[in-house]
Amino acid sequence: MRFIIYGTGAIGGTFAARLALSGYPVIGIARGPHLAAIRDTGLTLRTPIDTHTVALECVGDPGEIDFKPDDIIFLTMKTQDTPAALARLRAVGVNEQAIVCAQNGVTNERFALRLFPNVYAMMMMMPASHMVPGEVDAFGAPKQGILDIGRYPSGIDDTATTIATTLSASGFAAYADAEVMQNKYAKLLMNLSNIVRAILGDGEGTRGGELNRLVRAEGEAVLKAAGITIGDAGAKDPRRKSFMQDQDIAGVERVGSSSAQSLARNASSIETDYLNGEIVLLGRLHGVAVPINAQLCRLAQELISGRVKRENLSEAQILADAGL
């Protein structure tokens, strides 16, 4: 069994480093300066407890890997990059291997199941960031993350159990869950605020409070109208207290959510269309008004394009532009 981590950034880099440190064979797939840094000096993982630099086999494209039937492939890129990644995997002969969607949102699994028969969903509570080539910061401790994994659309098999057991032995609190998508929808509701925090920040007080409340209320109304069951994963998950608390790392400045990191890196794309955009899609399908989530999707694209600057935005303006 070998782990292929497709997208060795914040989440993927944490998986790759921890699995490698536990002695499991790992190949990362990365690009640009991050790939060069990993090849030159290894991958550095910092946590609130320790820091490790691991020598990691890393390639720039799946075509550089001689895939084996029992490889387990983790997709850890942003959702907007998933279709192209899946197309590359199929082009180089991947077929029956396990495809694990270790990603935010609920769209990746459907993308994967169109092309591959063995697709697994993973719900992750794993605060991490990647801002410097060759470095990843994971802020969860004592475990780096809480993970639920199961077959998509539902069920548990030996592969899901093996993955959960392996990850639990490698610094994570991982569980096989036959109804993992319920918790992925719960995590989706949490992630609706990613773009709000990316725009308004995480300051004290109520900054973004009303906007966060409304964006989640729209999400809950849409999922109810769609008949989608929501799991218990979230800020009040009791496993957080026992296994993973979000802590600071000495000398490391927190950037924020994955959306905030995309804006800080001046990335050319952002995942908002597959987080808030999922609520927009379901709202339009089921006749539920979703003005806040729709406005946030528009704003995210304007921020990425440079047409709008974060410093020129306010909660009051965003609410007014959404007609509220």
DSSP sequence for 196-214: HHHHH---STTTTHHHHHH
Domain match, 204 and 243 both: yes
pLDDT of residue 204: 40
pLDDT of residue 208: 59
CATH of the domain at 99: 3.40.50.720
pLDDT of residue 321: 83
Structure tokens at 1: 């069994």
> Hey, how many other C-beta atoms are within 10 angstroms of the C-beta on 69?
7
Domain match, 29 and 116 both: yes
Q: What SS3 class is residue 228? A: coil
Domain match, 167 and 216 both: no
Domain match, 170 and 276 both: no
pLDDT of residue 235: 65
Residue ending a domain, among 136, 152, 180, is: 180
Residue ending a domain, among 151, 180, 209, is: 180
Domain match, 138 and 203 both: no
Q: How far apart are CA 169 and CA 62, in angstroms?
A: 27
Domain match, 215 and 141 both: no
Domain match, 196 and 71 both: no
* Cα-Cα-Cα-Cα dihedral sign, residues 278, 129, 22, 76: positive
| In contact, 247 and 139? CB cutoff 8 Å | yes
Count of domains for the chain = 2
Domain match, 192 and 160 both: no
Q: Which residue has the tokens 């475990």?
A: 143
The model's pLDDT over 263-285, given as tens digits with 9 standing for 90+, comes to 888 888 999 999 999 999 999 99
Contacts of 320 (CB under 8 A, 6+ apart): none
Q: Where in the sequence is the domain holding 25, given as residue range(s)?
A: 2-180
CATH of the domain at 239: 1.10.1040.10
Domain match, 12 and 91 both: yes
Domain match, 149 and 243 both: no
65-71 long-range contacts (CB < 8 A, ≥24 apart) are 65/4, 65/27, 65/29, 65/92, 67/4, 67/92, 67/93, 67/94, 67/97, 68/2, 69/96, 69/97, 70/1, 70/2, 70/97, 71/1, 71/2, 71/3, 71/4, 71/97, 71/98
pLDDT of residue 303: 92
Residue ending a domain, among 128, 161, 180, is: 180
Structure tokens at 45: 């993982």
Q: How far apart are CA 45 and CA 134, in angstroms?
A: 9
Domain match, 192 and 233 both: yes
Which residues of the chain are modeled with pLDDT < 50?
204-206
Domain match, 168 and 269 both: no
pLDDT of residue 162: 98
Structure tokens at 229: 């069951």
The whole-model pTM stands at 0.94
